[in-house]
């Protein structure tokens, strides 16, 4: 009962996902549980993104212990999953080695959202009503959280979710670094870690006030919508996209080398510059970005990216600059970490 109460009180998407899987693991005799969701703007209809998995590895003192894996991966749809989705019905399938696989489709307001897979040594047919109830609670809260975390005009993540998601990213980076130090890691992993990191980019629409004043807010909204659509098209599925307020947007890029980050952001800048609006003509964006390290405060990272953005604004607009590069070249003074900026 306690785990169900925890599931119903969640107001955070990541916590909600974990709570659903943990609740099932605690209530039923399972071997593994996998939560698979439709990836944002995924172009492939034959796969889902596994965002969370719990494995029951051993039993100590009569109580199972769980190993949680949150490394996201794309999983192809097999025929059993396809049947589950097509018929919108729970399926219990017998598997090799005496296992049973229970598949539950997840829908939110008639929109398909994903599948919950439960694998057990026992036939859980008698527990399908309980599982379906838990999935329904999850999908109902999914709608509420989506509305609270998303900007109504663009569908991008909103400003109120930024700090929470960035702090979570920093926490994961610290955990990965600690794990790498304990295990040593492979040479390939160390090489990747030394040249790749996450990045925070600030995007600002050039002369946006002039667009609103000249053409009206309806045309301004059209520009914002087109920009958000191009963000979804250009950036990767794992990148986090935010409307930070007005004409300002943020992108948190998954770990890549500096050159790749700059290339991705500049590709977006060019995509916007090449688009022609019927009434307005061409609209450009300026971009500043900075590396995200586990030791930085969110406010500090935003400050670095903001300084690079203002450099772009002061040097012709319609351009993209990296904070660390500007500091290394002596074009910007290194900012002093104050921790006193109140963004939220």
Please give the model's pTM, rounded to 2 decimal places: 0.66
Q: Which of 49, 247, 254, 303 is catalytic?
A: 247
| Structure confidence by residue, pLDDT tens digits, 169-188 | 777 666 666 655 665 554 43
Instruction: Please list the residue range(s) of the chain that carry CATH number 3.30.70.270.
Output: 157-328
Instruction: Please list the residue range(s) of the chain that carry CATH number 3.30.450.40.
Output: 2-149
Nearest to 139 by CA among 251, 8, 296: 8
DSSP notation for 91-125: EEEE-GGG-EEEEEEEEETTEEEEEEEEEESS--G
- CA torsion, points 207, 213, 219, 223, in degrees to nearest 10? 20
End-to-end CA distance of the chain: 36
Contact 66, 25 (CB under 8 A): yes
- pLDDT, residue 293, reads 83
The 3-state DSSP class for residue 250 equals strand
- pLDDT, residue 22, reads 86
- pLDDT, residue 146, reads 76
Indicate the CATH number for domain 157-328. Answer: 3.30.70.270
Q: Where do runs of H (alpha helix) occur along 150-257?
A: 162-183, 187-195, 208-215, 217-234
Q: Which helix (H) or strand (E) holds 253?
A: strand 248-256
Say how many residues make up the chain.
Answer: 344
Task: Please report, for residues 13, 49, 74, 109, 140, the alpha-carbon distance to residue 143 in angstroms, rounded to integers and kept in the order given.
Answer: 10, 19, 23, 8, 5
**Whose structure tokens read 């590895």?**
57
CATH architecture of the region 2-149: 2-Layer Sandwich (3.30)
- pLDDT, residue 299, reads 87
Q: Which residues of the chain have pLDDT under 50?
A: 1-10, 41-44, 186-193, 339-344
Q: How wide is the angle at C-alpha 153 spanned by C-alphas 150 and 155, nearest 5°?
A: 35
Pairing status of strand 197-205 against strand 248-256: antiparallel
Contact 285, 205 (CB under 8 A): yes
Distance CA 207, CA 58 (A): 61
- pLDDT, residue 145, reads 79
47 catalytic residue (yes or no): no
- pLDDT, residue 136, reads 92
Six-digit token string for 63: 């109580």
- pLDDT, residue 216, reads 95
Distance CA 135, CA 88 (A): 13
Six-digit token string for 285: 């964006």
- pLDDT, residue 243, reads 95
């Amino acid at each position: 009962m306690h785990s169900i109460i925890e599931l119903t009180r969640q107001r955070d998407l990541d916590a909600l996902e974990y709570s659903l899987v943990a609740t099932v693991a605690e209530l039923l005799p399972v071997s593994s549980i996998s939560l698979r969701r439709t990836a944002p703007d995924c172009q492939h209809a034959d796969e889902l993104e596994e965002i969370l998995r719990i494995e029951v590895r051993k039993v100590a003192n009569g109580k199972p212990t769980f190993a949680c894996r949150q490394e996201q991966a794309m999983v192809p749809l097999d025929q059993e999953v396809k049947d589950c989705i097509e018929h919108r019905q729970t399926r219990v399938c017998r598997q090799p080695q005496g296992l049973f696989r229970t598949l539950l489709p997840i829908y939110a307001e008639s929109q398909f959202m994903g599948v919950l897979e439960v694998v057990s040594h026992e036939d859980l047919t008698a527990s399908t009503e309980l599982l379906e109830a838990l999935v329904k609670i999850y999908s109902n809260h999914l709608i509420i959280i989506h509305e609270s975390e998303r900007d109504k005009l663009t569908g991008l993540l909103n400003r109120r979710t930024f700090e929470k998601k960035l702090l979570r990213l920093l926490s994961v980076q610290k955990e990965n670094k600690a794990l790498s130090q304990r295990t040593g890691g492979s040479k390939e992993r160390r090489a990747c870690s030394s040249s790749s990191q996450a990045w925070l980019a600030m995007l600002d629409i050039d002369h946006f006030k002039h667009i609103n004043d000249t053409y009206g807010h309806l045309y301004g909204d059209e520009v914002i919508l087109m920009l958000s659509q191009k963000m979804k098209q250009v950036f990767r599925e794992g990148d986090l996209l935010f409307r930070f307020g007005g004409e300002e947007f943020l992108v948190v890029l998954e770990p890549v080398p500096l050159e790749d980050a700059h290339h991705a952001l500049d590709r977006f800048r060019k995509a916007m510059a090449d688009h022609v609006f019927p009434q307005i003509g061409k609209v450009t964006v300026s971009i500043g970005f900075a590396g995200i390290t586990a030791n930085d405060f969110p406010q500090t990272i935003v400050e670095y990216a903001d300084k690079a953005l203002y450099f772009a604004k002061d040097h012709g607009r319609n351009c993209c600059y990296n904070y660390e590069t500007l500091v290394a070249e002596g074009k910007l003074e290194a900012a002093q970490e104050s921790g006193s900026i109140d963004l939220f």
